[in-house]
Amino acid sequence: MTENNPIPPPIRKAATIILVREKNSTLEVYLLKRSTKSAFMGGLYVFPGGVAESEDFGTESWISHIDLSRDQIEQQLGGDTISADEVLGFSIAAIRETLEEAGVVIASANGGSGPDYDQFASYRLKKDLPKDWFRTKIKEENWTLSLSELGRWSHWITPKLMKKRFDTRFFIVFMPKGQTCVPDNLETEQGIWLSPQTALEQNLESKIPLSPPTLVTLTQLLKFKNLNTLKQDIRSRSWGTPIMPRLVPSSGGPVILEPWDPDRNSDIKIDTSDFSNKVLPAGSWFSRIWCDKGIWKPVDI
């Protein structure tokens, strides 16, 4: 597969949740380090999320276990290019994956208390759970998934030259009170709460290597100084145009061109020989990311 003659792999649906909280008057996000054994973004820090499974879809099987009506789903989470039924599936996947990877339960059960959440979070760590374990547990124990806590953030589609490709919806959720994030130590190895600025700085220091979408998202979040300003933005936020970056191979490390890069659609070759001098300070807006020995760094044009 080459850039001029791409045969891209099939695109799979996926969902991610950006968990945010405010601590000491500072906005923080929760990041998970993907297992180094992972074939996709292995060793990089990302938000909780993963592939949407067939069991996550099917409105009729979920409608009695969610806290929004179909019309409310359309209003809060839908959009011009996605139906309420489809966005429901993405939402279920996002909630399930966040539980599986971070141990956070975005749901309530009969008034939900601490022990209920702890038991649910522990249950996901059992070995050899059937594929439909999440839906079965929700129904048998009469949980209600809190779709009302989800907000739209962004819609990403993986570059064509990546070995695995995903059509991913990024939701944003304020960390539920009384719960603690606990990595599963299978797909994820470590979890950490950091301010967006600190995470970006530690990425450049090779301490917290970030995935490309995480880099962009954290930079977007810099303008929000607290939860109130972020909440105001989410109320009117739409999915917007899908973010479809372009991956350009280079002997000095691949470069990703974001859709807003002036050369995004040009037939160009990129010389990275002087990119070490073009790395931008943490927090700077950018349109290009360079993979320097496994660390993705924003660079100037």
**Helices of type H across 170-298:** 196-204, 212-221, 227-235
Predicted confidence at residue 109, as pLDDT, reads 80
User: Which position has the token pair 């011009």?
Assistant: 80
The residue type at 71: D
> For every one of its 301 residues, what pLDDT tens digit does the chain have, with 9 covering 90 and above?
445 545 778 999 999 999 999 999 999 999 999 887 776 777 899 999 999 999 999 999 999 999 999 999 999 999 989 999 999 999 999 999 999 999 999 999 865 555 588 899 999 999 889 999 999 999 999 999 999 999 999 999 999 888 899 999 999 999 999 999 999 888 888 999 999 999 999 999 999 999 999 999 999 999 998 999 999 999 999 999 999 999 999 989 999 999 999 999 998 889 999 999 999 999 999 999 999 999 999 999 9
Strands 11-23 and 165-174: parallel
- Name the 3-class secondary structure at 213: helix
Domains, the chain, in order of start with CATH, read 11-244 (3.90.79.10), 245-301 (no CATH)
CA angle 238, 151, 224 (to 5 degrees): 85
Gap between the Cα atoms of 177 and 174, Å rounded: 9
What residues form DSSP beta bridges with 17? Answer: 171
Helices marked H in the chain: 59-62, 70-77, 84-102, 114-123, 133-140, 196-204, 212-221, 227-235
